[in-house]
Amino acid sequence: MYMAGRSRFYSENLYVFQNYIDQRKDIFVAKVKGYFLKSDYNNLLALPPIFRNIEIENKEEVIEEYMYSQAQKHSLPMNKKDRKLTTLLDINGQYTVFDNYYLWFLIDLGFVITDYKAIAVFEKNTAYEPLLGQ
């Protein structure tokens, strides 16, 4: 696994994007939209593969009646939004940024890319490669 080096280029061209996804040799960061097939949900349910830090509103409709009543009972602030690290099976139709290794992992698990916004390609940082070869 390599660390990203200098930025090579940024593109919003579909052909460039598809080429880098298929080649599986360059380091890139891509902003994509996609989903997992419903038939794959049972296989992915034990550990949903998409990690996201999302913002949750402390409303009764969002966190349900029990959690809302417990928060009020313990005098927790209810007028602010909380950030929670969570695992998901769906990105809710939003564009999400993934690096190349993580995106290839998701594709191998059955992630279907429906749209893309951009891709940034980087050079491989090989400065420490001689030290690792010994």
In sequence order, what DSSP letters do the residues of 91-125 get, joined into one string? -TT--EEEEHHHHHHHHHTTEEEEEEEEEEEEEEE
* CA pair distance 134, 131, nearest whole angstrom: 6
Please determine, for residue 4, whether its predicted confidence score (pLDDT) is greater than 60. no
CA distances from 119 to 11, 78, 79, 122 (A): 5, 39, 38, 10
The pLDDT, as a whole number, for residue 111 is 93
pLDDT tens digits for 47-105? 899 988 888 888 888 888 998 899 889 988 877 888 888 888 888 888 999 998 899 99
The pLDDT, as a whole number, for residue 86 is 87
Question: Among 120, 126, 115, 97, which residue's Cα sits nearest to residue 28?
Answer: 120
Same domain, 20 and 81: no
The pLDDT, as a whole number, for residue 44 is 92
Q: How many domains does the chain have?
A: 2
Same domain, 10 and 45: yes
Q: Which residues contact 12 (CB under 8 A, 6 or more apart)?
A: 117, 118, 119
Same domain, 12 and 43: yes
Which domain range does residue 59 map to? Answer: 53-85
The pLDDT, as a whole number, for residue 79 is 78
